[in-house]
Amino acid sequence: MNALNTDTHELDDPLGSALERLVTRFDPAVFDVGRPVARLRIQAPDAREKGGGESYDVVIQDGTARLTTARGGADAILTADADTWNEIADDVRGGMTAFRKGRLTIRRDLHLGVGFLAATSQLTGPGRLRIRRVDTAAGSLSTVEAGTGDPVLMLHGLGATKASFLPTLGALASSHRAIAVDLPGFGDSDKPLWGPYDPRFFADAIVALLDALELDRAHVVGNSMGGRVTLELGLSHPDRVGRLVLLAPSMPWLKARPWAPYLRFVPTQLGVFQPAPRAVIELIVKQVVPGSGTEWTAAGIDEFMRSYMTPLGRAAFYAAARNIYLEEPRGPNGLWTRLPDLAPEALFVWGRKDKLVPIGFERHVREEVPQAMHLKLDCGHVPQLERPRQTHEAMEKFLANGRPGA
C-alpha cells in the first residue's frame, strides 16, 4: 500500500475527506493500469451538471495513487454524490455495489474506473475483484475476474470490451471464478496489425489464455461475435470447454451477401487511417446502438470509441466486421455444416427484438443442434445488460446442472 500523497490543502469537505480515505487504500497488485500515468476525475453530480461543486483528480503513477486538485483533462470520470463516496470509503464492497445500482457512474474508461474501485476495496483472497494483463502465447490479454469455483470465461461482441460483462461478473462471482476478457484487437488487449481476426484466431487466443491461467477447461459465455467464438471453441477445442452459453451469437448469413465480392479485396489495415472526426463517428454509433440514453449503453459507447480511436483498434474492428459478413455458411468449413458436431452442452439465448441477430436463427439452430437448449427473452442484442436478472438466473442454473431457468 502507498502512503497518501496529496498536493491539496487539508481537506474538510465531505467528498475530499472520503477520497483521502479511499486513496490511502490503493493496492497496485489488484489493478494493472496498463499505462505509465492515469488521471481519474472524481466528482459530485453538481460539478458535472452545473459547472460547480467539488471535484478532485486521482493520479495513478508508478504503482501509487495520489489525490490532487482537478485540472486539465482526465482519462476517466467517476461521478457520485458525497454521501455515496463516503459509503464507498466506509464499506469495502461499496464501490461496485454503487456502480451496479447506478448511484455511481463511470465514463470515458470503464477499465480505469472499475480498476480503481477494485484497487481501493481492501478485499483480499483469491476471489477478490482484480484487473490484470495476462501474457499468453497469443499476446497480452486484459482480464477482469472475481470469485472462486469452476471457471467461466466471458467473451464480448464486436466493438465491445470485457466491461459488457461486468453485471455478469457480479452475478456469477458468488459461485464461480468469473473471468471476462478483452479479445485480441479490442479494449486493453494487444492489437496485432496483421491478425486475421476470424473465429479460429480468437478461439486459439482463448486456448492460449487457458494455458496461461493453467486451466484445463472452463465454461464459456459469449455475446454476439463472442458467441461465434464460443461456438468455435466448442467445435475446434471441445476438450477445453465445459458448458456453453450463447447470448445472441453472431451466425453466418444464410441469405445473399451482395457486397461480399468487393469486401474480400479491401485491406482492413487501411483502418489505421482515421477517415472521419471522432464527433462524427460517435454520432453514428449513438444512432445505431439501441438504448444509448442509458448509463450502461453510454459507457459501452465510450469503450467502443476508446478502442476505435486508436489506429490498431480500427484495423482490428474492420477486420473482425468483415469476417462476420464474409463468413461462408455452408461448405466444408461453413459453420452451419459443422454445427451438428457441437458436442458440449449449449444454451442459446435469443432476443425477440434483436435486429442484428434475428430470432429467426433459432429455428435453424434447432434443426442443426436438436440437443441444444433455448431461451427467448423480450430484449435486443445484449441480454446480459438488457434483461440481466432473467439472463443470469438462467445462466447460473444451466452452468450448475445443464438446465436453464424458467
223 found inside a domain:
yes
Q: How many domains does the chain have?
A: 2
Asked if residue 67 lies in contact with residue 120, where contact means CB atoms within 8 angstroms, the answer is no
For 198-229, give the DSSP string. Answer: SHHHHHHHHHHHHHHTT-S-EEEEEETHHHHH
Q: Which amino acid is at 52?
A: G
Q: Which amino acid is at 104?
A: L
Is residue 359 pLDDT above 90, yes or no? yes
210: left (phi over 0), alpha (psi -120 to 50) or beta: alpha
Cα–Cα distance, 248 to 375 (Å, whole number): 10
Cα–Cα distance, 85 to 67 (Å, whole number): 14
The confidence score (pLDDT) of residue 355 equals: 87
Residues 251 and 343 grouped into a single domain: yes
Domain containing residue 193:
130-401
4 found inside a domain:
no
Per-residue pLDDT, averaged over 88-103, amounts to: 77
Residues 194 and 319 grouped into a single domain: yes
Reading the block at residue 180, the C-alpha cell is 471476462
220 found inside a domain:
yes
Residues 312 and 255 grouped into a single domain: yes
Torsion over CA of 7, 9, 14 and 17, rounded to 10 degrees? 50
Higher pLDDT, 12 or 232: 232
Residues 92 and 158 grouped into a single domain: no
**CATH (domain of 134):** 3.40.50.1820
Torsion over CA of 45, 51, 54 and 55, rounded to 10 degrees? 80
Tell me the pLDDT of the chain averaged across its residues: 85
**CATH (domain of 31):** 3.30.1050.10
Residues 86 and 181 grouped into a single domain: no
Residues 304 and 210 grouped into a single domain: yes
End position of a domain, from candidates 69, 86, 119: 119
Residues 156 and 207 grouped into a single domain: yes
Residues 134 and 222 grouped into a single domain: yes
Query: How do residues 23-50 score in pLDDT, each as one tens digit?
Result: 998 999 899 998 899 999 999 887 655 4
Residues 208 and 231 grouped into a single domain: yes
Cα angle 245-246-249, degrees, rounded to a multiple of 5: 170
The confidence score (pLDDT) of residue 286 equals: 59
Cα–Cα distance, 159 to 143 (Å, whole number): 16
406 found inside a domain:
no
Q: Confidence band (pLDDT; 50, 70, 90) for 90? A: confident
Q: How far apart are the first and last CA of the chain?
A: 46
2 found inside a domain:
no
6 found inside a domain:
no
Query: How do residues 268-323 score in pLDDT, each as one tens digit?
Result: 455 555 565 566 556 555 555 555 456 667 777 888 888 888 889 988 998 898 88
Per-residue pLDDT, averaged over 87-110, amounts to: 81
**Could you say which DSSP state residue 196 is in?**
-
Residues 211 and 357 grouped into a single domain: yes
Residues 142 and 286 grouped into a single domain: yes
Is residue 333 pLDDT above 70, yes or no? yes
Query: How do residues 4-15 score in pLDDT, each as one tens digit?
Result: 444 444 556 788
pTM of structure? 0.86
The confidence score (pLDDT) of residue 294 equals: 63
Residues 52 and 102 grouped into a single domain: yes
377 found inside a domain:
yes
266 found inside a domain:
yes
Per-residue pLDDT, averaged over 172-199, amounts to: 95
